[in-house]
């Protein structure tokens, strides 16, 4: 079984799912010297000292895993730290590995460094390298075809007319607004769209802005692809830079909890660490803002904040120190709402949303397909007579549209009734009547 550890420095990843089949080691080659890391020597030294401060006595191999750089670079840093009398040798391990610890002066310096930044993780990647690789991994470089979209969404029941609108929208560089009545499948579709983006991308564990570090990798969002670990090879120089983690394209979903602060770099004053905003974490993937109009930040404020990112595909962020920097805005931006778009923003903002896609009730054949699919999932038997009774005597007679969520909800209530009353798993007129009266007010 292949597996991946996020703190290993020796990852070799499959490249068959890379954008345009580009080898990860070509995109992000493994650094073999301090200069190759693109990070200031002082930042590397402080990070190593902080690892020693929290870890106590460590071997070179342990620091290789904690910092994500080769044993050769670790040795360079040890030599420099020894020259400054910051580290000391300790008794070797049973297998002959040298152990290292902070000296008294090194301990003081590490504590001072921790007061400036509490970050303890893999060595960050430089901002310019992140920007370059992020743009090279843009999903726009691998256009989605109708067949790809149909295959990726094969578990969903959708009209082809909708696929013909969604596909070009995903291939565009424009944000997409999906709107329509509740229960028509807007959010459900969006949550499954990243299945159509089958390739993997490289996500940095952290990026460096000057001497500050922003953590980007989020294991709740970034799902690492399987890979083989060769952690015993301290000086391995093959494979891609292990500071980059190969992941499936991310899908970040946010709803009513969205605030203006979530769109900016966040600083935790207790841990003294920076965390990336949601759009940076979602780069090279999909960012879905669900229930637009119900966030803590107004739709107008949100669009004002993102006018430049939406049009120029770049965003501007700030550190607590006031330093400003630019990042790519390379993501598929989706908005979903049950509200009338014209009630949310004015026409000028709507024009900036290149694609506006309306979701509505289904036609009867598609509703039938969903109904009997859910029957099978719930292990319920439903005759054609009972289905026609539902559609004609309830939906049509009572003027209830054929909304995609109704089969799941109504049959779920029926399954609950059957379980409680110990009935045969068969849809009947009585069960339909009971479920309908419970579900609809």
70: domain CATH number is 1.10.10.10
Is residue 228 scored above 50 in pLDDT?
no
Q: Is residue 31 part of a domain?
A: no
Q: Is residue 253 part of a domain?
A: yes
Question: Could you tell me which of 74, 77, 120, 118 has the C-alpha nearest to residue 97?
Answer: 74
Q: Is residue 14 part of a domain?
A: no
CA atoms within 13 Å, Cβ hemisphere of 272: 11
**Domain check: are 106 and 216 in the same one?**
no
**Domain check: are 116 and 140 in the same one?**
no
Which of 70, 90, 121 is at the close of a domain?
121
Q: Picking from 43-52, 90-99, 291-300, which range would have the lowest pLDDT averaged per residue?
A: 90-99
**Domain check: are 305 and 368 in the same one?**
no
The pLDDT mean for the chain works out to 89
Q: How confident is the model at residue 194 (pLDDT cuts 50, 70, 90)?
A: confident
CA atoms within 13 Å, Cβ hemisphere of 42: 7
Q: Is residue 10 part of a domain?
A: no
CB 233, CB 272: distance < 8 Å: no
Q: How confident is the model at residue 32 (pLDDT cuts 50, 70, 90)?
A: very high
**Domain check: are 207 and 86 in the same one?**
no
Q: pLDDT for 249-268, tens place per residue? A: 999 999 889 999 999 999 99
Is the pTM value of this prediction over 0.75?
A: yes
Q: Is residue 60 part of a domain?
A: yes
**Domain check: are 138 and 115 in the same one?**
no
CB 280, CB 216: distance < 8 Å: yes
Is residue 7 scored above 90 in pLDDT?
no
Q: pLDDT for 273-282, tens place per residue? A: 999 999 999 9
Q: pLDDT for 362-399, tens place per residue? A: 999 999 999 999 999 999 999 999 999 999 999 999 99
Quickly list DSSP for 147-181: HHHHHHTTTS---HHHHHHHHHHHHSSS-EEEE-S
**Domain check: are 109 and 159 in the same one?**
no
**Domain check: are 145 and 257 in the same one?**
yes
Predicted pLDDT of residue 154: 86
Predicted pLDDT of residue 233: 45
**Domain check: are 321 and 291 in the same one?**
yes
**Domain check: are 260 and 334 in the same one?**
yes
Q: Please count the structural domains in the chain.
A: 3
Predicted pLDDT of residue 67: 96
**Domain check: are 430 and 331 in the same one?**
no
Q: State what percent of residues in the chain have pLDDT above 90.
A: 70
Q: pLDDT for 229-250, tens place per residue? A: 444 444 445 689 999 999 999 9
Dihedral sign computed on CA atoms, order 56, 62, 68, 70: positive
For the segment 333-350, the average pLDDT, to the nearest whole number, is 88
By 3-state DSSP, what share of the chain in percent is helix, strand and coil, each rounded to 5? 40, 15, 40
Predicted pLDDT of residue 359: 94
**Domain check: are 198 and 316 in the same one?**
yes
Q: Is residue 188 part of a domain?
A: yes
Predicted pLDDT of residue 13: 38
Q: Is residue 19 part of a domain?
A: no
Which of 121, 139, 172 is at the close of a domain?
121
Structural domain range at position 152: 127-358
312: domain CATH number is 3.40.50.300
Predicted pLDDT of residue 237: 54
**Domain check: are 241 and 149 in the same one?**
yes
Q: Is residue 256 part of a domain?
A: yes
Q: How far apart are CA 223 and CA 150, in angstroms?
A: 23
Q: pLDDT for 157-189, tens place per residue? A: 989 899 999 999 999 878 999 999 999 999 889
Which of 308, 338, 358 is at the close of a domain?
358
Predicted pLDDT of residue 390: 98
């Amino acid at each position: 079984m292949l597996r991946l550890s996020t703190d290993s420095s020796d990852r070799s990843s499959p490249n068959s799912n890379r954008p345009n089949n580009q080898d990860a080691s070509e995109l992000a080659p493994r650094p073999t010297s301090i200069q190759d890391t693109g990070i200031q020597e002082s930042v590397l030294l402080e990070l190593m000292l902080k690892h020693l401060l929290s870890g106590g006595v460590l071997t070179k191999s342990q620091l290789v895993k904690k910092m994500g750089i080769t044993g050769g670079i670790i040795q360079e840093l040890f030599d420099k730290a020894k020259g400054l009398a910051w580290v000391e040798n300790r008794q070797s391990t049973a297998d002959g590995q040298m152990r290292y610890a902070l000296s008294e002066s090194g301990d003081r310096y590490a504590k001072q460094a921790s007061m400036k930044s509490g970050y303890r993780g893999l060595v960050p990647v430089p901002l310019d390298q992140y920007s370059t690789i992020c743009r090279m991994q843009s999903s726009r470089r691998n256009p989605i075809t109708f067949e790809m979209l149909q295959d990726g969404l094969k578990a969903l029941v959708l009209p082809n007319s909708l696929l013909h609108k969604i596909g070009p929208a995903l291939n565009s560089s424009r944000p997409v607004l999906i709107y329509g009545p509740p229960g028509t499948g807007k959010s459900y579709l969006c949550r499954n769209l990243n299945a159509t983006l089958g390739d993997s991308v490289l996500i940095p564990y952290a990026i460096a802005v000057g001497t500050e570090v922003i953590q980007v990798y989020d294991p709740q969002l970034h799902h690492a692809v399987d890979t083989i670990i060769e952690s015993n090879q301290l000086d391995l120089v093959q494979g891609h830079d292990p500071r980059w983690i190969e992941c499936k394209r991310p899908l970040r979903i946010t709803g009513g909890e969205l605030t203006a602060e979530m769109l900016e770099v966040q600083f935790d004053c207790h841990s003294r660490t920076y965390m990336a905003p949601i759009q940076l974490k979602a780069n090279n993937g999909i960012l879905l803002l669900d229930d637009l109009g119900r966030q803590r930040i107004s739709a107008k404020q949100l669009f004002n904040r993102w006018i430049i990112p939406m049009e120029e595909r770049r965003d501007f962020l700030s550190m607590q120190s006031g330093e400003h920097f630019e990042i790519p805005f390379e993501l598929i931006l989706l908005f979903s709402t049950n509200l009338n778009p014209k009630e949310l923003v004015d026409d000028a903002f709507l024009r900036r949303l290149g694609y506006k896609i309306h979701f509505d009730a289904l036609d009867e054949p598609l509703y039938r397909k969903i109904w009997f699919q859910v029957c099978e999932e719930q292990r319920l038997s439903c005759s054609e007579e009972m289905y026609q009774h539902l559609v004609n005597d309830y939906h049509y007679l009572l003027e209830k549209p054929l909304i995609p969520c109704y089969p799941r909800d109504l049959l779920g209530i029926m399954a609950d009734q059957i379980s409680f009353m110990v009935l045969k798993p068969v849809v009947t007129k009585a069960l339909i009547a009971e479920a309908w009266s419970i579900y609809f007010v």
